[in-house]
Amino acid sequence: MTRISTRPVPFRTAEMLRQSGVHPVLARLFAARGLEAPEQLSSELSALIAPSGLLHVSAAASFLADAIGAGKRMTIVADYDCDGATACAVALRGLRAMSARVDYIVPNRFEYGYGLTPEIVELTARERTPDIIITVDNGIASIDGVDAAKARGIDVLITDHHLPGPTLPDARVIVNPNQPECGFPSKHLAGVGVMFYVLLALRAELRQRGVFDAATQPKLDSLLDLVALGTVADVVRLDSNNRILVAQGIKRMRQGRMHAGVAALFRVAGRNAFQATPFDLGFALGPRLNAAGRLEDMALGIECLTTDDEGRAWAIAQELNTINQQRREIEAGMQEEAMLHLDAYDPAERSTISVVDDSWHQGVIGIVAGRLKDRFYRPTITFAPAGEGQLKGSGRSIQGFHLRDALDLVSKRSPGVIDKFGGHAMAAGLTIAASRFEEFAASFEAVGREWLSSAQLERVIETDGALEDSYYSTSFIELLDQQVWGQGFPPPVFCDDFRVISQRVLKEKHLKLLLEKNGQRYDAIWFNHSEALAERARVAFRLDANEYNGVTKVQLLIEHAES
C-alpha cells in the first residue's frame, strides 16, 4: 500500500526564515526539513564545524606530521565503493601535497572481502612494505586485521564512519564520528568527509610547526569536488555540515574547477558539469565508479580520480562506462530471477525479504536488494555464493528499521548463524554459511515482525503540499536546482488535485498525461506506470524543466497518484 501525506511545517520557523530574506516557498520547504535558523543555510566553508570537535583528530594530525617528518612509508587501504575511492583519492592527493610518502592498495572484494583483514595486511606488507597503514571508509570493525598489522610492526590509523561494534580495534589512532565518546555534532560524515577533516587537522598541525604558512599551505578546497561526489554517492544524511561540503564541491564543478577524472565522468555520462546537481553525482557519476568495485577492481576508479592527465582520465571514464553497462545488464537479469523467486511472496504476510540464487553476482546483490526494497517496501537482503560454502549478503532497509542493529540482534539470538556483519541503519552487509540460510531468514523475519508495525510497512510519499500557481515556472525550478537536496534533506515533492484532460501510454510502460488546475494545463509523466487515472486525481509530483525542440516547458514528474 502507498499513500500520500503532507509534511508538517513549523509556521514560526518558516515565517522567521521568510523574514530573514529566504524565498517564501523555500522557507516553508526548509522549515519542514528541520532547519531552525538562517545560519544553517550557509554554504560557506567558514561555517564548517571545526575539526577539533572530532575525537582523536588532533592525535591523528600529530601522528601523521611526525611520520611525514621522519619519512615513513604510508599505505592507504581503501574500501571498494565510491566513498572509498573518493576517500582514497582525497587522502593520496592531500597527503602528497604535504610531502608524505604514500601509496594505496584496494582489496579485490571477491578475493579478500571487506575491511582491513589479516589477509589484506599480509598482502600490503608484501607488496608495499609500509610503516603505517591508513584505512579510509573502513577499519572500525577490523580487530583481527589491526592485530595482524601490529604483529608485523605496522602502525594503523583508522579513518571510518561506519558504526562500531562492542569492541574497537587496538589501532594507533581511530578517527570516526560514530565511535564512543565522540561529541562531533555531524555524525553523518561519509568516509571521504572524515578523511578530509583529518587533512584539515594535519595542515593546521604542520602550519603550527612552521612547515608552511597561510600563504604557502596546500589548498585543500581543491579536493571538494571529490568530497562532494563521495558524500552524495554514499547516501549519507545531508545535514548542515554535509550540505556545505556538497555545495562547495558542486560550486567548483559548475565553475569548471574539478579534477580531470570528475570532468571525464560528467562527459561520459552525458551530463553538463556547468549545471551539476547532487542527482548527477548520485545517479550518473557514482554508479560508474561503483561499477568498477562491483565487477572488477576499484583501482581503476581510484586512478581515474588521481590522474591529472585528461587523456588518461577520459580513457578510464570510457572503460568505467562500459563496465557500468555490463553491471546494468547483469542487474536486469538478476532482478528478473529475483521476481521468479518471489513469485509466491505475499507482502501482507511478511515483514522482510531474504532471497538467494546460486548464479548471482556478489558485486550487484546490493543494487538488487535496493530494487526489491523499493518494489515491496520491506527490509531486504539478497545473497550470492562467496565460495567455500559461504554466502555474501547485502541489505537495504526502510525507514524505522535499523538494519545493522537488526543483524546484531539476529546474531545474538541465533549464535553462529552470521559469520560477520557491519553497516548502517539503511544498508548493511554480512556473510553466512549457505547451509544456514533458512535459519537466518526465519530469524531475520522474526525481528522484522517484532520491530515493524503495519503502519511502518506502508509506503508513504511525503510531500510539501500544494504549490501556488505562480511558481509553476522554469525560473522557480532554477531556484530549486540551486539548492543542495539529498538523503535526509529530500528534494521537494508537491501535491494537489488535478483534472485529467488526456492520457496515453508511451513505450508500453510510461503514462503521459495532460493535467489541469485552476484553468492552467501542465504536461506530466509517470515513469514505469501504465495504469490509467480517473478523471480527477490527487497527484504527488516533482517539477521538471523539459526541453523539446528548443522550447523549455514545465513538466510534472509524477511520484504517485490517487484517484
What is the per-residue pLDDT for 366? 94
Per-residue cell: 230? 563521495
- Taking each continuous run of H as one helix and of E as one strand, the counts in the chain are 19, 17
pLDDT digit string (tens) for 520-552?
999 999 999 999 999 999 999 999 999 888 889
What's the confidence (pLDDT) of residue 516? 98
Closest C-alpha to 32, from 516, 498, 548, 495: 495
Distances (CA, A) of 282 to 148, 230, 285, 290, 487: 36, 9, 7, 11, 10
Highest CATH level, class, for 46-320: alpha beta
* Cβ-Cβ contacts under 8 Å for 149 (sequence gap 6 or more): 116, 121, 125, 133, 155, 156
Burial per residue of 345-381, b for 16 or more beta-carbon CB atoms within 10 angstroms, e otherwise: eeeeebbbbbbbbeebbbbbbbbbbbbbbeebbbbbb
For CATH 3.10.310.30, list the domain ranges present in the chain: 342-457
* Statement: 2-41+460-562 belongs to CATH 3.40.50.2300: no
The CA-based angle 10-16-18, given to 5 degrees, is 100
Q: 25: burial class by Cβ within 10 Å (0-12, 13-18, 19+)? A: buried
Amino acid letter, 108? N
Please state, in angstroms and rounded to a whole number, the distance separating the CA atoms of residues 138 and 336. 32
Other CB atoms within 10 Å distance of the CB of residue 239: 19
Please give the pLDDT value at position 154: 98
- Over residues 152-179, the pLDDT tens digits come to 999 999 999 998 989 999 999 999 999 9
Query: Per-residue pLDDT tens for 69-114?
Result: 999 999 999 988 999 999 999 999 999 999 999 999 987 777 777 7
Chain region(s) in the chain for CATH 2.40.50.460? 2-41+460-562
Instruction: Specify the pTM.
Output: 0.92
Residue 61: the pLDDT is: 98
* Res 555: pLDDT: 97
Q: What is the rounded average pLDDT of the residues 501-527?
A: 96
**CA nearest 196: which of 58, 65, 86?**
86
- Domain 342-457 in CATH 3.10.310.30? The answer is yes
**Residue 375 to residue 189: CA distance in whole angstroms:** 29
| Start and end residues for every CATH 3.90.1640.30 domain found in the chain | 46-320
Q: Is 552 helix (H, G, I), strand (E, B) or coil?
A: strand
